[in-house]
Amino acid sequence: MAAILITGGAGFLGSYVCERLLALGHSVVAFDMSNGEKIEHLLSNPSFRFVQDSILNAPALEREIDRSDIVVHFAAIADPKRYVMEPLVTLQIDLQGALNVFQMASKRKAKVIFASTSEVYGKNPRVPWKETDDRVLGSTHVNRWCYATAKAAGEHYCYAYHQSEGMTFVTYRFFNVYGPRLDDLGSGRVLPIFLKQCLQDEPITIHGDGSQTRTFVYVEDAADGVVRGMFEKQAENQVFNIGSSQELSILELAQKLKEVGKFSSSITTVTHQEVFGNSYEDIPRRVPDVSKSKKILKWEATTSIEDGLFKTIEYYRRRSQGQCAQV
């Protein structure tokens, strides 16, 4: 059984990966600067430990990496509202923090599992995107690209550390993962925004005209993909798309949410400029080609959007009525 460190392990996706690894009998440490609300239910497990600290605190991070066989690097600023409004903090955490992890894991000869993002493809119009497809990003004066740029630099570091230092890695590009525990309803990710509006019986505000498309992968499916690749020899030193193939426009997502949750909110639109000023530029279509993940990880998303939304809505309903903690 392996000793596994998960930076960002008390986050949304990290909390599910912790659960799965513990169920498989591994020893798991979540290293995260949050208050640990999302992993509270794991604290009594003797194979689990929570370290509340920042990946920018190098000595604290190194102490934990030095005890690990595998380092899953999920800690990041991943909320669009934050990376548009706080580009410096985003770059410090998503780039410098990742570099800390790679340097220390490489020295320790630990395997690295790196969370990248579909954002690295930018606005490449030729969907679906294969892992080897081009990155088409906007100008550096638009803050929104700082997140994609930091994550892409992280991917380059993985290849470079592998080439120069023999570090073993697996990189995942996640495409809009959703589910219970996603975020507080004040975050800037699309589903929490819509859900908050629905639960408060307010109009759903779509940013832009709603024709932009995304695919949504349920968190349990995504966590399954992460764990499969972590222990698959053939996956080593490669990048994988983790997403669903079902393309939905944001307008369709809003309609589906209303339908599944039986919400009565109306649907309105606001321009990106009204929300983010000039620091944002939207991606018209975002669709993964998941054939490589199917072939090598033997993985594909299996939860339908209706089932996934139903479970997510139920969770946020219970939380908004004060009936459940984060789990």
The residues carrying an active-site annotation are 147
Among 322, 315, 20, 5, residue whose Cα is nearest residue 183:
315
How far apart, in whole angstroms, are the C-alpha atoms of residue 156 and residue 101?
Answer: 14
Residue nearest to ligand NAD (CB): 11
Helix H, strand E, coil C: the string for 118-175 is HHHHECCCCCCECCCCCCECCCCCCCCHHHHHHHHHHHHHHHHHHHHHCCCEEEEEEC
Q: Which stretch binds ligand NAD (CB under 6 A): 4-12, 127-135, 246-254, 262-270?
A: 4-12
Closest CA to 76 of 129, 109, 34, 18: 34
Which positions from 221 to 240 touch ligand NAD by CB under 6 A, shown as an x/- string? Answer: --------------------
Q: Which of 188, 210 has the CB closer to ligand NAD? A: 188
For the stretch 87-90, contacts whose Cβ atoms lie closer than 8 Å and that sit 24 or more positions apart, written own/partner, are: 87/143, 87/146, 90/146, 90/147, 90/150
Q: Nearer Cβ to ligand NAD, position 112 or 273?
A: 112
Backbone angles phi, psi at 268, to 5 degrees: -125, 170
CB 157 within 8 A of CB 214: no
Region of 68-76, 231-239, 252-260, 261-269 interacting with ligand NAD (CB under 6 A): 68-76
Q: Does 71 bind ligand NAD (CB under 6 A)?
A: no
Which lies closer to ligand NAD via its Cβ, residue 77 or residue 301?
77
**Cis ω before 288 (30° cut-off from 0):** no
Span 88-107, contacts to ligand NAD by CB under 6 A? 93, 97
In the numeric block, which tokens belong to residue 311? 């479970």
**Beta carbon nearer to ligand NAD, 113 or 167:** 113
Position 32 contacts ligand NAD (CB under 6 A): yes
* Site for ligand NAD contains 11 (CB under 6 A): yes
Nearer to ligand NAD, 119 or 164 (CB): 119
Question: Residue 68 and residue 306: Cα distance in Å, rounded?
Answer: 39
Residues in the chain: 327
Choose which of 6, 14, 113, 148 interacts with ligand NAD (CB under 6 A). 14
Q: Is 105 or 177 the residue whose CB approaches ligand NAD more closely?
A: 177
| Contact call for residue 174 and ligand NAD (CB under 6 A) | yes
> Whole-angstrom Cα distance, residue 8 to residue 11?
5
> Which 3 state secondary structure label does DSSP give 206?
strand
Q: Which amino acid is at 209?
A: D
Binding-site member from 106, 176, 212, 293 for ligand NAD (CB under 6 A):
176
In the region spanning residues 47 to 66, those forming contacts with ligand NAD, defined by CB under 6 A, are: 54-56
Region of 2-10, 41-49, 138-146, 257-265 interacting with ligand NAD (CB under 6 A):
2-10
Q: How far is the CB of 219 from ligand NAD (least distance, A)?
A: 8
C-alpha to C-alpha distance for 106 and 110, rounded to whole angstroms:
6
By CB under 6 A, is residue 78 in contact with ligand NAD? yes
How many chain residues interact with ligand NAD (CB under 6 A)?
25
Site residues (vs ligand NAD, CB under 6 A): 7-8, 10-14, 32-34, 54-56, 74-78, 93, 97, 115, 117, 174, 176-177
